[in-house]
A and B are shown apart, each in its own frame.
Chain A
Amino acid sequence: MLIPHPLLGPRDAQEFTYLGDAALLNRPDGMAEGAEAAFAEYVYLRDNPAGVHRELWFHEQGDRSWLVVTRDTTTHEILGAELARDVKLKGGAA
């Protein structure tokens, strides 16, 4: 798979390590009411869709940036990639 890195252009997916669903960017507030249940859900539960999936990849063998890659889990087709920083600053991965 080739990941279209927003700064470096197409890069081999082998240069990256995979973390999982980009919803991990939306960390719950540990001080809020019901934080324990919110964290159990955040840490352990996943949508795990068959189809378009937004996910976190770390460019470990490259510029060490975190990307949000949009990819189809039924075909492995990569539909886009953004810097995770930009996604987070825009308000999360929803």
Chain B
Amino acid sequence: MLELVDLTHRYGTYHAIDRINLTVKQGEVVCVVGPSGCGKSTLLRSIAGLIKPTGGAVLLDGRPVESTPDNLAVVFQDYSRSLYPWLSALANVGLPLRRRGMSRKARDEAAMAALTEVGLGAAAGKFPWEMSGGMQQRVSIARALAYRPSLLLMDEPFGSVDAQTREELEDLVLRVCAHHGMTILLITHDVDESVYVGDRVVVLSKAPGHVVGDLTVDLPGPRDQIRTRELDAFVKLRADVGRMVRGMSARRFDNGMTHEVETR
């Protein structure tokens, strides 16, 4: 459903991503992992139509993305900045539904259903600043879910919450998205998370980012935080992905020059 063809973007002279080719199938959960500064956010913004890539194309259901597509939602890492503090949780979740031409009543009902789905039905009237970080990120996940996108983009969605909340949210997203048959592209720097959440893990090199590995995660579902992580297959995959990420960011200094050292 999503196809990236030679996707390239430069900010002035800075070359952020370089000829990324990637195909994501309907219903797949694909994790993109890479060292910091590998252009992950640039990649996400290009797919969402928030920036116009300088080269290549993004195809969604076969059509090139020129402005923000209708059937796409984004969950950003920084929930405190992406939720609107002057709106209650319910109003935050309901706001994007205006695009769907829904009545006020229908929007409130859909928002309430999504909040209930993420376990925040009782907190619908609260404001973001009355909530913990984990709750706020649940609200932004609910906002994306209520919109019923066919593609959900997530930019380090669990990067700013504590470890327990992170595990909870990972399972929540997997459960809810499987239930609605959503396709997910999740961007993370966390190798462990990418293997746990993904059906596939795509590894990017450091800038200019390009695809250096594309692994199928063949682990039994539904995933379980303890049992999945102790499987031999999980441990091996995590090591493989880790080596790829590490390999591309290792440096060797030679005559003051920096060279990429590939271990694969």
* Chain A complexes with chain B: no
Interface residues of B (CB under 8 A from A): none
